[in-house]
């Protein structure tokens, strides 16, 4: 360790991290939350049984930084600062990287500077997150400059969600044929947007869809999302009453059941009606969904590993008590209409799959080792973060032999080969810059 308390990087080192938690109200409560269990094991803090635990952040973003274990800025022994009976780590991973940028790898520093280009998370979702989108780089820079208290940084935020449990989301707009069906079978949409918008949708011919669909969809969606609270409240009352009556005569569709569920979570919210316009996606464990800039989405239920470019920019417009920016959201969307691609992962060996969305900032590996199994992660040109989600085992490098267990999070510098072994079984995930970059 250097004299000022910062550990000097050395070949083959693995850096243990203490991570940050977010207690957003949509998170699972107490020990029902996988995030809570991982956070408790990672930090030693007791789980509060009446508190929602929504997100575990593993990265360098200042809104939820990871801290280096065993390192401090000054005189605190072993890198710890005593804070009312709790151990608090004073050296962030970002600070350490900025002092030692070579740990990122030459290509990463050249492309993104002295910071991790990705942010790694675990999410535990009990109820719907907001209908939202993430701005591209140009829009993110402008929003951050104009409203820095709302838009925390100037970066874009492409992201991927990899299901740990059955996972549900709204993602992207339905096809034009499905949109036609929605405006025909959900009269409440027409009550909000008016018959002219409905007629525009219904009179588009199949061979004209590519040319005319986007402006028509944009106009209808903007009209819907901009409606007054009073109008939405009245129309929602009719919609819920109608669906409850239909439920006595026939089984509701999955989308109709979802709408009833969303209305209980967010009564009187325009996002309840807007759900009819989005694809309803159900992921099984091991399936992943990725989202580029300016694509609408809302996670609904389940637990997932999430990775994204290092950013905390969210433009919201529904299913939320938080700040809404309807005008920005409606103007920024691509209005593409297609069911999203579902990634199954590419097998690297019998135990490891790689998920590579079309973004340079990150890829994610899932590794599930059975009893007495071993595997290896070859040296990568960029740095990696590992999180152990179940079991226990050992991670070994040329100079380090670390016992690891559920809740451990480790940083591995670029060009570090790692062997992983277990006697009882082990599950882990790795995030790193896309290997081919």
Q: Which of 106, 63, 330 is nearest to 218 (CA)?
A: 330
Structure tokens belonging to residue 129: 């997150």
Q: Specify whether the CB–CB gap between 61 and 25 falls below 8 A.
A: no
Q: Residue with structure tokens 């570090």?
A: 416
* Residues 391, 408: Cα–Cα separation, whole Å: 11
Q: Which of 24, 101, 23, 41 is nearest to 382 (CA)?
A: 101
Q: Specify whether the CB–CB gap between 361 and 117 falls below 8 A.
A: yes
Q: 77: number of CA atoms within 13 Å, CB side?
A: 1
The helix (H) or strand (E) run that includes residue 329 is helix 326-332
Among candidate residues 18, 37, 316, 324, the one labeled active-site is 316
Say whether 99 is catalytic.
Answer: no
Beta bridge partners of 121: 57, 306
- CA-atom Rg of the chain in angstroms: 23
What separation in angstroms does the CA of 102 have from each of 18, 317, 360?
A: 22, 41, 19
Torsion sign over Cα 114, 117, 123, 127: positive
The H-assigned helical ranges of 187-310 are 187-193, 195-202, 209-225, 229-249, 254-265, 270-274
Residue 374: CB partners within 8 Å, gap ≥ 6? 419, 420, 421, 422
Q: Residue 208, Cα to own-chain centre: how many angstroms?
A: 35
What separation in angstroms does the CA of 379 have from each of 110, 177, 383, 412, 418?
A: 19, 48, 9, 10, 7
For residue 267, give the 3-state DSSP assignment: coil
What separation in angstroms does the CA of 222 have from each of 134, 217, 246, 340?
A: 17, 8, 29, 22
**Terminal alpha carbon distance of the chain:** 32
Give catalytic residues, as residue numbers: 316
């Amino acid at each position: 360790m250097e004299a000022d308390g910062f550990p000097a990087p050395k070949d083959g080192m693995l850096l243990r991290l203490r991570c940050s938690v977010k207690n957003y109200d949509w998170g699972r409560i107490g020990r029902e939350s996988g995030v809570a269990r991982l956070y408790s094991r990672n930090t030693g803090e007791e789980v509060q049984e009446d508190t929602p635990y929504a997100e575990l952040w593993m990265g360098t973003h200042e809104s939820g930084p990871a801290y280096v274990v065993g390192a401090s800025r000054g005189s605190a022994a072993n890198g710890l600062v005593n804070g009312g009976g709790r151990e608090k780590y004073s050296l962030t991973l970002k600070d350490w990287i900025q002092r030692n940028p070579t740990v990122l790898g030459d290509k990463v520093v050249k492309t993104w500077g002295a910071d991790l280009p990705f942010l790694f998370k675990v999410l535990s979702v009990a109820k719907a997150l907001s209908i939202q989108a993430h701005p591209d780089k140009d829009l993110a820079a402008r929003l951050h400059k104009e409203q820095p208290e709302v838009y925390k940084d100037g970066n874009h935020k492409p992201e991927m969600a990899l299901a740990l449990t059955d996972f549900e989301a709204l993602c992207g707009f339905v096809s034009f044929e499905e949109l036609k069906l929605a405006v025909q079978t959900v009269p409440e949409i027409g009550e909000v947007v008016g018959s002219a918008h409905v007629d525009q949708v219904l009179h588009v011919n199949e061979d004209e869809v590519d040319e005319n669909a986007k402006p028509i969809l944009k106009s209808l969606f903007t009209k819907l999302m901009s409606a007054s609270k009073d109008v939405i409240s009245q129309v929602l009352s009719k919609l819920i009453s109608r669906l409850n009556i239909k439920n006595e005569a026939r089984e509701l569709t999955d989308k109709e059941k979802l709408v009833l569920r969303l209305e209980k979570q967010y009564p009187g919210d325009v996002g309840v009606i807007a759900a009819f316009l989005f694809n309803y996606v159900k992921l099984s464990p091991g399936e992943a969904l990725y989202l580029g800039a300016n694509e609408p989405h809302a996670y609904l239920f389940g637990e997932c590993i999430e990775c994204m470019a290092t950013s905390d920019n969210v433009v919201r417009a529904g299913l939320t008590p938080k700040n809404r920016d309807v005008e920005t959201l409606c103007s920024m969307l691509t209005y593409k209409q297609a069911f999203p691609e579902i990634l199954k992962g590419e097998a690297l060996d019998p135990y490891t799959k790689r998920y590579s969305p079309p973004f340079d900032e990150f890829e994610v590996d899932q590794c599930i080792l059975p009893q007495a199994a071993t595997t290896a992660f070859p040296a990568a040109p960029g740095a990696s973060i590992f999180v152990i989600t179940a079991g226990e085992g050992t991670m070994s490098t040329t100079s380090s032999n670390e016992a690891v267990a559920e809740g451990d999070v480790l940083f591995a510098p670029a060009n570090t080969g790692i062997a992983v072994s277990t006697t009882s079984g082990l599950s882990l995930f790795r995030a790193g810059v896309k290997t081919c970059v």
